[in-house]
Amino acid sequence: MTEELHKDRARSRGDMSMMAEGLKRSSETMDAAKSPIVQEVLAYLGDGRTVLDIGAGVGRFTSPLAKAGCQVVAIEPSAEMLLHLRETLEQHDVSGQVQVVESSWPLADALQAEVALAAFVIQFSSDFAGFAGAMERAATRRCVLAVHVDPIMGFMKPLWELFRPHEPAPHMPDFADIYPALIQAGIVADVRIFSESHGPRWTDPSEAIPMMAARLGIAEDPEALARLRAVLSERREEFMKPRPHRAAVISWSPRPE
């Protein structure tokens, strides 16, 4: 199921590259050790200091957790992300503390750790309860999810209104979709909302044209592409502005089976 999903909602190669670049940029600017996500994981560790980092991406949280003395299993299905992840682990000299597993969650193997973390991953799943339930079976002390509260692709909204005015903009699930699904599954979790300011995922909006054009369905339409280029150039400032962005740490003790 998750594998299917990953294909559905996640992404063309271009999207994945842009996501990797965005995550790397974010790693460079944020003080990961102070992140509420890392703090939540550290607060619930036991003596083994073991963590599953589900959907580790480029290692934004894997590396600070390993640096804090955790033994991390980093689970990541994307070959492109894995290249960046391994690079990050080497750069930070923590490869020895991290086992990388090339796979999608849920895994077929019954891995266990004190804390199971999935930061900004569950939105790619079409089965939130199944995803969270598998985390509960894997974690002995705590399950920690991070999800977006504000829309993830908010920058697409004004473009969608211009190019596809008669259709609703695509929606990536966020807190408002995910938390009720957890409640429905009997998971009543602690929630902490935090705010970050995100710069754009590009150094110039024109870098995002292939991704935006694919999403708008205009990649094969030269006239629409020229219009998109013009809009991005005219409204460059708007598309380069850092956006305040709220996210939620959702954290709960796994229920006994």
Residues near ligand SAM (CB under 6 A)? 2, 6, 10, 19, 23, 54-57, 60-61, 75-78, 81, 104-105, 119-121, 124-125
Closer residue to ligand SAM in complex, CB, 106/205:
106
Backbone region of residue 69 per phi and psi (left: phi > 0; alpha: psi in -120 to 50; beta: other values): left
Minimum CB separation from ligand SAM for residue 124, in Å? 4
Query: Residue number with the shortest CB distance to ligand SAM?
Result: 57
The Cα diameter of the chain in Å comes to 61
Distances (CA, A) of 87 to 35, 171, 253: 21, 32, 33
Closer residue to ligand SAM in complex, CB, 65/218:
65
What is the C-alpha separation between 182 and 237, in angstroms, rounded? 39
Minimum CB separation from ligand SAM for residue 227, in Å? 29
Closer residue to ligand SAM in complex, CB, 21/207:
21
Minimum CB separation from ligand SAM for residue 101, in Å? 9
Closer residue to ligand SAM in complex, CB, 10/225:
10
Closer residue to ligand SAM in complex, CB, 57/173:
57
Contacts of residue 109, defined as CB under 8 A and 6 or more positions apart, other chains included, come to: none
Indicate the SS3 state at residue 125: coil
What is the C-alpha separation between 184 and 129, in angstroms, rounded? 8
Instruction: Please name which of 50, 44, 38 lies closest in space to residue 74, comparing C-alpha atoms.
Output: 50
What is the C-alpha separation between 114 and 105, in angstroms, rounded? 17
Minimum CB separation from ligand SAM for residue 31, in Å? 14
Minimum CB separation from ligand SAM for residue 61, in Å? 6
